[in-house]
Structure 1
Amino acid sequence: MLVDYHTHHVRCGHAVGDLEEYIQAAIEKGVQELGLSDHQPILHLPPEQIFPGSAMPLEELPAYVKEALALQAKYAGQIDVKVGLEADWIEGYGETVRDLLAQYPFDYVIGSVHFLSGWDITNSAELAGWDTRDAGEVCTEYFRQVRLAAQSGLFDTLGHLDVIKRFGHVPTALYEHLLEETVLLVRDAGVCVEVNASGLRYPCAEQFPSRRLLEMMNSHDIPLTVGSDAHQPKFVAEGLDTVYDLLREVGYTHIHGFTARKRYEIALT
């Protein structure tokens, strides 16, 4: 295993295991670089509208970063631990997020679209939201937000780019156009894209992004990084062997890591 840049921990409210357990699991599995990337506190909703267990409370963020930095130092020489955050892209809240990120010495920040008008499209507890919405309209708005996230300059990498497909709601006739438009804008923005193995464990049974998207991105030289999106220590690096094989098949020869918000190449050997 080379890298796993997407993991979550007990502070986020919907994962189990502390930070050190994830590091120890990564060492056991031969991961060379592990990214700690818990969910950013939710900034765009009042407390009474936040679904329980969605993200770490704001008051926990300093303790999270402090603990992650201490573990980075403790395990130096055994594994390269990166201190990161998975941040939400919410239109109109970019500067609020920018101000928050500037307070901490992150190695990298994942930018993900989870919420559309307060509805978490990635949460299995909120699946009823699809019952009253048109899938084509939802996907169109989702990818519009992804493109805005790419253009924002806030993020080092974009998380689970086509996660909108997670529960099978994909408008076939419209989808290809949305993908092509998004890939071209991501290329122009110069931002990295995460290949997230967690989709292999969901109804879509496919990593995020899809093989089709990866082929399109390779043709436009879009840089990639890789993550398991583990929410339990045992899922660290889960599915990454499949992801690495796929990347080689579609023509990628490098992935990327991050230090102090700077991107560097890692050869896929």
Structure 2
Amino acid sequence: MLIDYHTHHVRCGHASGELEEYVRRGIELGLAQLGLSDHMPLLHVDPATYLPGMAMSKEELPRYVEECILLKEKYKEQIDIRIGLEGDYIEGYETEIESIIQAYPWDYVIGSVHFLGEWDISDHRQLAGWERRDIYEVYEQYYDAVSKAARTGFYDFIGHIDVIKRFGYKPDRDPWKLEKAALDTVKEQGLAIELNASGLRMPCEEMFPSRRLLEYCYAQGIPLTIGSDCHQPERLAQYLDLAAEQLKEIGFNEIATFSARKRTLVAF
């Protein structure tokens, strides 16, 4: 059962390739399911101050969904397309986020934290944001936002739950207490998380989440899905063989899939 539930395309501004290119690549790779999951438009940043390629425009969102629906029908005999959204959690904008989620027929919505205020902690162009900050306090703020995202009820799974480590900034204390609290909230809310393989090509050189967090998920019965977080068609399913291998080593034998916001565990 080969799936990829985390993909991006040209509309988000920092990826390349049309949606149909990803679909054709998925067929070529023999994916059983392909999740199209581009970024939600930003709600809290004035478009006039966007850095180039920060997000899909609000005007493009309905066009994105329409194209996903058309491709799902066009290729239904060749690949099972699931229509998704990576819905940034922005504290204070819950009403606006909920309205977007309720407006479209998603198969799943990924809950991801990229922003602490207007600072995108995942953007290589904003590394100056780390300067003069206590790294542990940034981790505290980040994991608090992840827990709040999980409690909203908006999301089906949490994306790259420890992406805060992406650029290799490590606190002077073990952040396990913070990580565990976030995972405990995921468990309490009945959510899944993803094993996002893209960390292997990042400065942290480790998937999101770390093996320690995966082992805790297994012990607690937190379901996992997998995604490449690719931003180019040629990277579709990149490292997912390694992701699946690691899950098997830990003991997982099922992965979470989603349709019409309902989760199904399937053997892999």
Interval containing the TM-score (normalised by the shorter chain): over 0.9
For the residues of structure 2 that align with 1:26 and 1:185, how far apart are their CA atoms? 33
Could you say which residue in structure 2 is the equivalent of 1:92?
92
For the residues of structure 2 that align with 1:67 and 1:152, how far apart are their CA atoms? 28
Could you say which residue in structure 2 is the equivalent of 1:242?
242
- Superposition pairs of residues 146-161 of structure 1, within 5 angstroms: 146-161=146-161
For the residues of structure 2 that align with 1:199 and 1:258, how far apart are their CA atoms? 23
Could you say which residue in structure 2 is the equivalent of 1:117?
117
Give 1:131 shift: 1.4
Could you say which residue in structure 2 is the equivalent of 1:79?
79
Could you say which residue in structure 2 is the equivalent of 1:259?
259
Could you say which residue in structure 1 is the equivalent of 2:164?
164
- Superposition pairs of residues 1-269 of structure 1, within 5 angstroms: 2-268=2-268
Give 1:48 shift: 2.3
Give 1:241 shift: 0.2
Which deviations, in whole Å up to 9, do the C-alpha atoms of 1:47-80 show, x marking residues without a partner?
A: 2232221110000001100001000001102110
Give 3-state SS (helix, strand or coil) of 1:111's partner. strand
Structure 1 gaps of 5+ residues are none
Which deviations, in whole Å up to 9, do the C-alpha atoms of 1:134-164 show, x marking residues without a partner?
A: 1111001000000001111000111100000
Which deviations, in whole Å up to 9, do the C-alpha atoms of 1:210-260 show, x marking residues without a partner?
A: 100000111000011110001000000000000000001111110011111
Which deviations, in whole Å up to 9, do the C-alpha atoms of 1:175-208 show, x marking residues without a partner?
A: 1111121221111111110110100100111110
For the residues of structure 2 that align with 1:36 and 1:183, how far apart are their CA atoms? 25
For the residues of structure 2 that align with 1:261 and 1:228, how far apart are their CA atoms? 20
For the residues of structure 2 that align with 1:74 and 1:182, how far apart are their CA atoms? 39
Please report the RMSD computed on the Cα atoms of aligned residues, expressed in angstroms: 1.0
Q: Structure 2-normalised TM-score?
A: 0.98
Instruction: Return 45-54 or 61-70, whichever deviates more.
Output: 45-54
Give 1:172 shift: 4.9
For the residues of structure 2 that align with 1:172 and 1:29, how far apart are their CA atoms? 42
Give 1:2 shift: 1.1
Paired residue total: 268
Q: Which amino acid aligns with 2:234?
A: K
For the residues of structure 1 that align with 2:248 and 2:125, how far apart are their CA atoms? 35
Give 1:132 shift: 2.4
Q: Which amino acid aligns with 1:58?
A: K
Give 1:167 shift: 0.5
Give 3-state SS (helix, strand or coil) of 1:226's partner. strand
Q: Which amino acid aligns with 1:171?
A: P
Give 3-state SS (helix, strand or coil) of 1:31's partner. coil
For the residues of structure 2 that align with 1:35 and 1:10, how far apart are their CA atoms? 15
Q: Which amino acid aligns with 1:216?
A: Y
Structure 2 gaps of 5+ residues are none
**Identical-residue share of aligned pairs (%):** 52
For the residues of structure 2 that align with 1:94 and 1:264, how far apart are their CA atoms? 27
Give 3-state SS (helix, strand or coil) of 1:193's partner. strand
Q: Which amino acid aligns with 2:129?
A: G
Q: Structure 1-normalised TM-score?
A: 0.98
Give 1:43 shift: 0.7
